[in-house]
A = this chain, B = another copy of it.
Amino acid sequence: MAKKAYRKVAGGVVAARGFRCAGASGGLKTRPGALDVGIIVSDTPAVAAAMFTTNKFQAASVVLNREKIKERLTRGIVVNAGNANACTGRRGMADARRMTALAAKLAGVPAKTFLNASTGIIGRPLPMEKIEKGIRLAAASLGNTAKHGDDFSNAIMTTDTVKKTVAVEFMIGKTPVRIGGSCKGSGMIAPNMATMLCFLTTDAAISKPMLQKALQEAVGRTFNCITVDGDCSTNDTVAILANGAAGNVKITQLGAGWRAFRDALAHVAAELARKIVLDGEGATRFVEVRVVGAKTTSDAERVATKIANSPLVKCAINGGDPNWGRIVCAAGYAGAVVKPELTRLWINGVKLFAGGMPAKVTPSRLAACMKPKEIFIRLDLGIGKGEKRVWTCDFSREYVAINADYHT
């Protein structure tokens, strides 16, 4: 995928033409007045694509969306934070349907054209009175200013400490096209499981199959680097609406136009993924683990994941401590083909381990390599061509505080 500079624009999910959104407070979050219900509406029928969690316990919204995403046209998405509506059985399904039906009705579009998503505590029924209050308030305040985009972003946050929104403009042929997005998520880039939601909008004219293909490639290279291997929550969802308002020649097959779109989408997704990592619960450092030379891609994934998820590695990075033995050790128990004498390790470009023993490095270089706020770990297994890149963050006292005190 070519690296390009994209022109950033304001507005997040309403940067693209023909979209309105809002965030409102239904009272699901405990802080009075906190925004917790968000709505996105496309002024004209759009096509949608989405990817969902692979967790066996799927939230009601995910079950519902898997059906609704098959519809030819989509008009909007309604989201709540504070309650995941997961593990809630038949009642949860009915609540999810009521939630989308109300949002669709207030937006004046058919219920079947509305998607929904939820994030928050698992196993509690949705407080429908609060949900409905939030939906009514949000539907009454839809708009397309930057403030509207920010409100939507704020409404989908849980333990996130900052809202996460990006939008860019780029050219498809001679037509300027926009893609914008907003996401929430922090914990899951730590070892696992807190919900990641991402909502993208574009005014590109593109067919539904081409949109789905672009989304899959963009997510595979970005969000899937942070939500690793099925260690995902009950609610994880990435969805995109494309309404064609830009007026470009419609993308209906692979080619230059599709690639330009996919690259821009991957860029937006990468920016959002990076924001999630940097907002990891209690995170103080950004960490990239790149495993190369593995026998297979799945071996590379196993090793990269074990390193990225090792609390001991993450604590060492938090302490700024070049305790590379923990990295090598994590590689050793990943269940991959690993030969100590062929394995080489670098942290921020400093070679630390090769030939089965520590590399020669001065104590000052050793200490310095773990000091930056961005840590690049490169592990070459020296066996084959399998590669995997994973992004993560360090593990801090604050992570525990956040997750021990996030009470049900």
If over half of A's interface residues share one DSSP class (helix, strand or loop), that class is named, otherwise mixed; here it is loop
Give A81-112 interface residues, CB cut-off 8 Å to B. Answer: 84, 86-92
Mark each residue of chain A from 283 to 323: 1 if its CB lies under 8 Å from any CB of chain B, else 0.
00000000000000000000000000111100110110111
Decide if A397 is an interface residue (CB 8 Å cutoff).
yes
Q: In the complex, what residues of B have CB within 8 A of residue A358's CB? A: 87-89, 123-124
Known: A123-B324, A312-B187, A340-B57. A329 touches B234 (CB 8 A): yes
Q: In the complex, what residues of B have CB within 8 A of residue A335's CB? A: 230
CA distance A322 to B87 in the complex (A): 15
Please state if A122 and B187 are interface contacts (CB–CB under 8 Å): no
Decide if A330 is an interface residue (CB 8 Å cutoff).
yes
Q: Which of A231, A318, A332 has most chain B Cβ within 10 Å?
A: A332
Please state if B187 and A333 are interface contacts (CB–CB under 8 Å): no
Q: In the complex, what residues of B have CB within 8 A of residue A54's CB? A: 333
Known: A193-B312, A356-B89, A407-B319. A328 touches B400 (CB 8 A): no
Give A325-347 interface residues, CB cut-off 8 Å to B. Answer: 325-326, 328-333, 335, 338-340
**Interchain residue pairs with CB less than 8 A apart (24):** A54-B333, A55-B332, A56-B338, A57-B328, A87-B325, A87-B340, A87-B358, A89-B357, A91-B357, A123-B352, A192-B312, A192-B330, A193-B312, A194-B312, A311-B400, A312-B403, A315-B400, A316-B403, A316-B406, A319-B406, A319-B407, A321-B406, A321-B408, A397-B404
Taking Cβ atoms with an 8 Å cutoff, the residues of A that contact B are 54-58, 84, 86-92, 121-124, 187, 190-194, 230-234, 309-312, 315-316, 318-319, 321-326, 328-333, 335, 338-340, 352-353, 355-358, 395-397, 399-408
